[in-house]
Amino acid sequence: MSPARMSPAPVLPVRLGVQVAQQHGTIGTIRDTVAEIEALGVDVVFDWDHFFPLTGDPNGLHFESWTLLAAWAEQTSTIQLGALVNCNSYRNPDLQADMARTIDQISGGRFIFGTGSGWFERDYDEYGYEFGTVGTRLDALEAALPRIEARWAKLNPPPLRDIPVLIGGGGEKKTLRIVARHADIWHSFSNPQVLEHKLGVLAGWCDAVGRDIAEIEISTELRRRSVDEADELYALGTRLFTIGVSGPRYDLAPVVDWLAWRDSKNAL
């Protein structure tokens, strides 16, 4: 698919999101970590939508995503929040919409609806969901998003704002088509070379569905990237950068460093 012409991207500030993986830490430690992250000036706090740890002891401490997000919504006052990302398979689409609306109301309009098709087979097996295939899970996500959007329009009271939809993933045939149709934010784990290619594919899908790619905020995971790589991602248009921290001890030193980098970009 050839890249479409892209409008000049709107001027967006660089934002930093921190994913607080709710594994191997107590509720108290997680609560304190979120409070510290907000005090540091982080823009978005995320959790993940899994039922078991992804690293370390596979049966270690772990907590559910959406109930935790509701607690964070009440605990915090300025930081935006959401899952990176919700698993579409685990909850009825209309229920997802209602849960998102409720957390948006609790938070005063700070909720981001991050979602994806799901991938961690143990979650499915132990909680009784059909795992299916990558294709069937993506088809389910594509079918769910119009229902979620329609339910938001019917709820009373409605969300406090048009809830931003973040979609995670980089598949070129289905995922990026879904992003083009529904996402306000696209999140990936791409390095600069891959991101440049994927942006061309996404632009093609945006052209196919009649959407301007400039409407979609680009989000990329920092992981263990260097500042030089982050600079390249920034040059390609990434404006939301995410970094993950995990229990039992949530080390926020890298967060402080990346906040300084964020502020240097926003000072330009």
Sequence-distant (6+) residues with CB within 8 A of 43 are 15, 16, 17, 79, 80, 240
Token reading at 155: 């709820």
Q: Measuring CA to CA, which residue among 41, 89, 38 is closest to residue 65?
A: 89
Q: Contact at 8 Å (CB) between 21 and 59?
A: no
What pLDDT sits at residue 11?
81
Q: Using one digit for the tens of pLDDT, what is the confidence trace for 184-211?
A: 999 999 999 999 999 999 999 999 999 9
Mean pLDDT score, 150-154 = 98
For all residues of the chain together, what is the average pLDDT?
96
Mean pLDDT score, 74-99 = 98
**Res. 151 pLDDT band, cuts 50 70 90:** very high
Q: Using one digit for the tens of pLDDT, what is the confidence trace for 128-137?
A: 999 999 999 9
Query: Tell me, what DSSP letter sits at residue 43?
Result: S
Sequence-distant (6+) residues with CB within 8 A of 150 are none
In the chain, % of residues over pLDDT 90? 95
Tokens 């890249």 correspond to 3
What pLDDT sits at residue 2?
36
**Res. 5 pLDDT band, cuts 50 70 90:** very low
**Res. 1 pLDDT band, cuts 50 70 90:** very low
Q: Contact at 8 Å (CB) between 100 and 153?
A: no
Mean pLDDT score, 244-255 = 97
Looking at the DSSP bridge assignments, the partners of residue 166 are 114, 185
In angstroms, the CA 118 to CA 55 distance is 17
In this predicted structure, the answer to whether residue 245 has a pLDDT above a threshold of 70 is: yes
Q: Measuring CA to CA, which residue among 157, 161, 163 is closest to residue 185?
A: 163
Residue of higher predicted confidence among 4 and 159 = 159
Q: Using one digit for the tens of pLDDT, what is the confidence trace for 18-57?
A: 999 999 999 999 999 999 999 999 999 999 999 999 999 9
What pLDDT sits at residue 10?
63
In this predicted structure, the answer to whether residue 77 has a pLDDT above a threshold of 60 is: yes
In angstroms, the CA 21 to CA 188 distance is 17
All domains of the chain, ordered by start, with CATH? 15-267 (3.20.20.30)
Q: Measuring CA to CA, which residue among 109, 52, 39, 47 is closest to residue 80?
A: 109
Q: Contact at 8 Å (CB) between 82 and 69?
A: yes
